[in-house]
Structure 1
């Protein structure tokens, strides 16, 4: 006899869950940061230097989206050495957080200082043009004191790995700007890794629900209503060992992952319990269990991460509840009478 619709649905959930459980590893495995070292002379390519050095800001890039009529304070400061007055909100948004000692602007370098008064947009801008040699002497670091990845990039032209640090470096009288070879690709890779990181506990929650329901279905293939609140709670709790084993076997790094991952996976899997309670119209218990599990998960994440956990904890819970709509559907479905009670 072919598998029933319910069995096929559980197998599909298991496949999706296992696939998502490795989402972070798949995304992170494809993320490779490549840094390029470009020889540069003082006075050449200020934009490249600004893109590499954390001590120089490309002011032209900052102002690229600011209409010309709002740039007058910067033009005045560049021409006269300083500007004191009110900045438009548009200009303040563009340059308000520029704190580097130097800026690259219109092909040259300037010493930079911006100070605002209180919560207003009244500000003082100081821009004193300086020669490139002064900037290079101030911001360039010796290659010999740099991480190994930087030395590799300077010697070979490029280097891969997260150990490389961008910046302006000097060696034997020559200067090198070390920066990401393809910043857009690096940002895309980082974004995909973040998505994979978020989806991994979702996959483990789905896997736990699928395994738990398959186990109950194997034991009692003809049971009319396979899930009860107690059984659904056990299925949700299965997310803890599933996530812990996955973290221990496939992940490395911070020990906080042994808390944040299982807590998030349990929130996702608890959707099955919510589905059962909804099918039985036990609304008060549904609300109480949802809030209780959410608070416990938030407390666990906050305990593992500290103050940042007070922000990421509620976000993880909200995302887990949203992702738990899939287990919710399974819980609701398996709490209802089976259309093929005798099928396996």
Structure 2
């Protein structure tokens, strides 16, 4: 008689799948290790926000002491204001720009020129903020060597120093972000446009629709889902505002208007070794980010029927 196979348990089936796809898991392992070290482990040690840090010996419970210190600080409220303003400019004001760029790419009739524009617009995304800041600082150099001042001099205008201007520095951060991300962040929208059935375009043309009618009635509705998803996910970073970018553009003249929570945490935790209060600020950031994502998801579900999940 043929022996009956004993059914595998859930754990055995999981181990069997891992063994079968061991090469894929091996390739994925550096990413898993990275997230465990730099994402999961810091989340576990967020408890430091409620304890007094000691290099040796057990940590003493401090309750909400560090949270009270944060909200009683006038500097924190100004830093929070800077963070919200810069995040609004980068994640809300710039959001339609990426969609418009995808629409413009779709309207280009010459495929070679379109591919050239795509490649050129993608490249800045792969540069570090150190390189990007160097490029923009050279362009905006307040001396006669700066490209911007050379252009202004050509038209008879005087030199300007935008890098130390409190009124201009936030807009510079926004323009830098647009230059770096416009090609990369528009990929998802351009891909969604390419997935639209050609039959819809043909039917619209038969009905006498022009390009504006096609964009408004066919393309934009197709972009609604990816636009909603990306916008909701962006709100999760609303309390960050981009440490790398701000850190590379900061100076004593403009620090008061671009000092954000991430630079504040870096100054407290890394430079001043105040680990508990720095952890408390980071915890506030994370909690607010999760709340914003959940609230926006629920609102989007009620208004449009679409959300992140």
TM-score, with structure 1 as normaliser? 0.22
Where is the helix percentage greater, Structure 1 or Structure 2? 2
TM-score by length of 2: 0.24
The structure with more radius of gyration: 1
1 or 2 for the larger relative contact order (CA 8 Å, sep ≥6)? 2
Identify the structure with the greater strand proportion.
Answer: 1
